[in-house]
Amino acid sequence: MAAEEPLYGYATRAPLTAAEVRLLVSRSLAIQAYATLEQSLCRLFTYLSGTSDHVGATVFFRLTNSQSRIAILEQVMCLKHPGSHRTFFKSLIKMLKPLDGTRNEIVHWHTVQVVGGGIADYKLEPPNFWVWQPTTRTHDAESLAEFSIKCDYVSRAVNIFTWVLRGEPDLPEELHELCRRPLTYPPPPHGLSVLTRTAPPSPPQL
Summarize pLDDT for 21-42 with one digit per residue, the tens. 999 999 999 999 999 999 999 9
Rg (CA), the chain: 20
For 191, counting Cβ atoms within 10 Å of its Cβ (0-12 exposed, 13-18 middle, 19+ buried), the class is middle
- The residue count of the chain comes to 206
Cβ-proximal residues to 4 (8 Å cutoff; 6+ apart), any chain: none
Q: What is the pLDDT of residue 141?
A: 94
Alpha helical stretches, state H, 122-197: 141-166, 173-178
Q: What is the pLDDT of residue 125?
A: 93
pLDDT at residue 6 is higher than 60? no
pLDDT at residue 193 is higher than 70? no
Q: What is the pLDDT of residue 90?
A: 95
Q: Rounded to the nearest 5 degrees, what angle is found at the Cα of 111, between the Cα atoms of 106 and 112?
A: 135
pLDDT band at 92 (very low <50, low <70, confident <90, very high): very high
Write down the pTM of the prediction: 0.84
β partners of residue 139:
124
Q: How far apart are CA 194 and CA 8, in angstroms?
A: 40
Q: How far apart are CA 34 and CA 88, in angstroms?
A: 20
Q: How far apart are CA 99 and CA 107, in angstroms?
A: 12
β partners of residue 131:
none
β partners of residue 49:
none
* Cβ atoms within 10 Å, residue 176: 13
Looking at residue 64, its amino acid is: T
Q: State percent of the chain over pLDDT 90.
A: 61
Looking at residue 142, its amino acid is: E
Q: What is the pLDDT of residue 189?
A: 66
